[in-house]
Amino acid sequence: MPMPVLAGEDCASARVAFEAPSQLFALQGSLFSDRLYVQGDETWTPTEIVAKATLPSGQPATDCHLHVYPRSEGDGRFFYSDGEETDENGVVRGYWFAETNPSAELVAENVATPSLHDTLKGAVPATPFANAGGHVRYIYYKTDGPHNWSTFSLDVTPVTSGHYMYYAAMFWTSGYLGLQQTRETFDAPHSRKLIMTLWDNGYGLPEVVRDPYGICGEAHQGTAEGDNLRCFSDYDFYLGDTYTFTVKAEHVVPDALDYTLHISGRNGSGFPEDFDVLTLRVPNRSDYYPPMPASFLEDYEAGYDSCADVQQTLIIYSNIWYTPAMGSGRHPISDVFFDRGYDAKAGGPDMCFNYDYGDTDILPVDSGFGGSQAKVDGFYMSTGGMDLVGSPQVGNYWDYAGADWKLDNPYLALTTYDQLQPLQSPDYLTELFVDHPKISVTTYDGGWLNTLILPDHVAEGSKFLLNVGSTLAVNLQFNGQTENITTGNTAELVYSDNRWMVQRIGAQQDYYVLPEGSLEKLDRSGDYLYEQFQNHQWIEADTADGNWVGAIVLPAGVEEQSRFKLVVNSTWAVDLQFGGKTQNVKHGETAELAYIDGQWQLQSLQ
């Protein structure tokens, strides 16, 4: 029978201890385990580090904060769970990555009382982890509708590139296609390529129907990748640019399926920016259509001493849609899962843990991605480097259970006065981040905070969004620094590598002040405002003598968290109509409303 929690017991009194072997081992540049990895040992797995907090009564200390960190430089890095509160068993979990210190130490301490801590030791021989080959990570597309397609299309944005990369746009049972870097450096002559390969599907070799640019070879049997036909060409794509790949699958002749590839995007190889590339024919049943494809990111060069020495490569997949076989229309895809399997027997490539995935809303980089395109809303995958590190999936390498991910994961939106006031306590945000990976805060006159302090420790990938609609600015504190966010501005931050990283601080891109002369369109219906809300989430209307309207109708059916601000500078008042109610706003008054749970709600009237 568990012991009762005694009065006065709290997190500050919880002792901390590692639940792990007293000694761990790791090759340089790999994860710690209870035994040293030997090439080809298929039973080897990294050890999950567990730190437990216990109250003096012996009960688990739940919902308490533990800080787990390497003691000194060279002791490695600790990933994944540093910011989490202890669970119902009083524990936090993570993985420890080895660097060069032969006698490394990992510390777990009670954040409330740092003197309550424990130490875990790790032995690191001089031998580095040998990466025996390349590795590949997949993104699988999910749909509730038919799983076969006659058209599939997606945008590919290569953001950064390491050595010898394959940015695969599509991969299915009959073939694959995408962009490649085939030389040591991205800008080397003949390094950047376009590739499409189709296989014999059991009914005969593929053949060329149309190849106006002469990029296809002959079909061959017995190649390293089976019986296939490969089309391969120089194609100097650009990092940061977006490329649209669209494939149509059509039964033009009996017992065969024609695949036509269309590409749009800027290139330096003389191809058009928007063109049909080729058409290939694969013998098959007349009722056959291909199944839902995957995409993948592959680093196919071997020989690095460590996963950590592999250069980072980052890619974004977006604007994904398909037309079902025997169907019509464009069906968007916003639901995917990623594989994260381990293959210890293969000797290293798929044991590399420093890869990551998610949607670009939580990507901890500048909104421009360093390229010519603006921020792309989609899914990202990263491999190599040490900036983006996700949690490993330890288990059957061929079990692609992966992690599910959806675009537009909802924010916990804090907008009302009652929701904003508890934020004056730093611990309140910490508690909210335990259950909500994305939190947004919006201030306005009547609902304002002088200072907002972001927690030091939350889960990797947590996102915070601050919109300042109040006249007074907000002091946003994070990482020991303070940023003054003024009215009309926004701040977007992501928690990555145990610190807050700024995505963007600047003007709210969707804030729109209605131009003079447009107010007369607002008094008969909400149609005009509805049109404006399709392009802007924040709209402000200012009246003046000579630029006045007697009534403004707010439209229903706009995006959640949309906001409307009315500033009455005219002598005459304005009737604000919403949800069957009328609010009279007089000279000198300002009304602010938010669209929450499908209806307009008055936030302030001053």
pLDDT for residue 398: 44
pLDDT for residue 373: 46
Same domain, residue pair 23 and 98: yes
pLDDT digits (tens, 9 = 90+) for 449-478: 999 999 887 877 889 999 898 999 999 999
pLDDT digits (tens, 9 = 90+) for 9-64: 889 999 999 997 888 999 887 889 999 988 777 788 888 899 999 999 999 999 88
In a domain, 396, yes or no: no
pLDDT for residue 6: 47
Domain end among 94, 123, 152: 123
pLDDT for residue 399: 45
Domain end among 473, 507, 541: 507
The conformation of residue 43, written as its DSSP 8-state character, comes to T
In a domain, 384, yes or no: no
- Rounded Cα distance between 496 and 479, Å, is 12
Of the candidates 543, 551, 541, 535, the residue with the CA atom closest to the CA atom of residue 593: 541
Same domain, residue pair 544 and 482: no
pLDDT for residue 439: 93
Domain hosting 293: range is 144-330+369-376
Q: What is the CATH number of the domain that holds 438?
A: 2.60.120.1230
Percent of the chain with pLDDT over 70: 88
The count of domains in the chain is 4
In a domain, 438, yes or no: yes
Answer yes or no: are the C-beta atoms of 606 and 590 closer than 8 Å: yes
Same domain, residue pair 175 and 323: yes
State residue 349 phi and psi, 5-degree precision.
-60, -40
- What does R_g of the chain's alpha carbons equal in angstroms? 28
In a domain, 209, yes or no: yes
pLDDT for residue 4: 47
3-state DSSP assignment of residue 243:
strand
Exposure string of 108-124, with b = 16+ CB inside 10 Å and e = fewer, is: bbbbbeeebbbebebeb
Domain end among 507, 523, 555: 507
DSSP string, 262-316: EEES--SSS--SEEEEEEEEEE--TT--PBPPEEEEEE-----S-GGGSPPEEEE
In a domain, 358, yes or no: no
Under-70 pLDDT residues of the chain: 1-8, 80-84, 130-135, 301-308, 340-353, 365-375, 390-403, 408, 509-511, 523-524
State residue 577 phi and psi, 5-degree precision.
-110, 125
Same domain, residue pair 501 and 515: no
Same domain, residue pair 416 and 501: yes
In a domain, 94, yes or no: yes
In a domain, 344, yes or no: no
Same domain, residue pair 310 and 266: yes
Same domain, residue pair 569 and 595: yes
Same domain, residue pair 531 and 492: no
Same domain, residue pair 181 and 298: yes
pLDDT for residue 371: 42
Of the candidates 236, 133, 131, the residue with the CA atom closest to the CA atom of residue 183: 236
Same domain, residue pair 309 and 165: yes
Q: What is the CATH number of the domain that holds 55?
A: 2.60.40.10
Q: Is the dihedral of CA 514, 520, 522, 523 positive or negative?
A: positive
Same domain, residue pair 264 and 186: yes
Same domain, residue pair 98 and 168: no
In a domain, 2, yes or no: no
Q: How many CB atoms lie within 10 A of CB 451?
A: 12
Q: Are strands 574-578 and 551-553 parallel, antiparallel or unpaired?
A: parallel
